[in-house]
Amino acid sequence: MRPRLFLDTRSRVLMTLICVITLALCAAAFWAGSGMIEIQRAGDQDEHLQHRLESLRSAILAGALADATLPATDDSVSKILAECLHLSADDAAQQRRLTKLGTLLDQQREPPAQPMPSDEAGVEEGVVPPPVDIGRSYVLLAAQAWIDAMQIELSARVDASRVRQDELLRWLIWSVAAAAIAALCFGLVLIRVMRRLTQQGHARISTLEARANRDPLTGLPNRRLLPDRLEQALLRAERRNRHAAVIVIDLDGFKPVNDTHGHAVGDVVLRRVSKRMKSALRSEDTVCRMGGDEFVVIIGEVEDPVLAVRRARDLVLRISRPILHEEKVLRVGASAGLALFPDDAEDGTELLELADQALYAAKHGGRGQVVTAREMQQGNTTFHLTPGDQLESA
């Protein structure tokens, strides 16, 4: 047997779809957030590199304005250059430019070669002509040009990073908002599913309780529910200072009908009899099927015991009426035993026993009778069908 699923197909598909969408949106939000962090880190590094390049420019200009080569002990330019090389480790083009710039600066640090004394005319012996400082100017112009190019490229990269960061921020906002909405939808669907499961559980419990406490054929309370109904009826009668009656009814002539026409027809007879008894009782009264063709009727809050006896007689007469089924006339009768609370007993079990004994007396006294517990003890019969009624209910 295939196991029954708790969720219907529609709910399962809907919950699965919402889960997949929520996970996808969470993944998109994580991707956008990670991208923003990475771009922010790269942008901060580029801005720091721009600042250090500007410091490098200032250091080079300061050395040039001093009208001397950079002293060998002054390594501020070298430190800044090394820091710039470290910051641009991920950019090969910037690395090449900074390496060339470092090479030029190293060449500038070397002192210019002194000219040898000459014997040519116009030049005094031992007098050294001043060197032409063309290398320093070249280095200065080249350094400025390379630094400008690197700063322009870095500025473009920083601007592009900001634009990309804004795009990712919008992605992050929309992904988080959509994920929140999807999670809310999932919660609503989950509440709906839980409510449906709760209703199904209650319905299942009610069905199980009905199967356990109700007779499957007639729908009447069975012997398991009888003690509770009897206890409640006795409590109400005691609280309002009234009587309560327990009537045990057994069908007369049911077995011949069941044997002659079959169990299906017998079931029809039991259902018809049950319906007749329910229609003759009040809503606060109870009729239970004990099994077979035996029934127990609980009549609560009776002001006069005579009214309970009349109600029992009415039930016997209603049961004894002919039953028409598929062009067949089916006839059964009934005998009843009655016990009163608190006249005969104050306990439900004792009342059932006395009513059952009174029924036994009615069955052996000619059937079709209603016998009370008190009259059973006195040996009298309260009601007996007329010969015509006996003929119909035989």
Q: How far apart are CA 363 and CA 358, in angstroms?
A: 9
According to CATH, the topology of domain 226-393 is Alpha-Beta Plaits (3.30.70)
Residue 124 pLDDT: 45
- Phi, psi at 205, each rounded to 5°: -65, -40
Length of the chain: 394
Poorest-confidence range of 10-24, 116-130, 135-149? 116-130
Model pLDDT for residues 145-204, shown as the tens digit of each residue: 777 877 788 888 888 888 888 888 888 888 888 888 888 888 888 888 888 888 888 888
| More confident position, 231 or 32 | 231
> What does 81-133 look like in DSSP terms, one character per residue?
HHHHHHHTTT-HHHHHHHHHHHHHHHHHHSPPPPPPP--STTS-TTPPPPP--
The sign of the CA dihedral 159, 162, 166, 171 is positive
- In this predicted structure, the answer to whether residue 46 has a pLDDT above a threshold of 50 is yes
Residue 106 pLDDT: 67
Cα dihedral 55, 57, 58, 62, rounded to 10, equals 140
Residue 279 pLDDT: 92
Q: Which tokens hold the place of 338?
A: 């009655």
Q: How far apart are CA 289 and CA 281, in angstroms?
A: 15
Name the helix (H) or strand (E) containing 384. strand 383-384
Poorest-confidence range of 8-12, 19-23, 207-211, 288-292? 8-12
| Residue 50, C-beta contacts closer than 8 angstroms, at least 6 positions apart | 151, 154, 155, 158
Return the amino acid letter for 191: I
Output DSSP code: residue 218.
T
Residue 381 pLDDT: 53
Domain chopping of the chain, boundaries:
9-109+134-190, 226-393
Output DSSP code: residue 303.
S
pLDDT level of residue 108 (50, 70, 90 thresholds): low
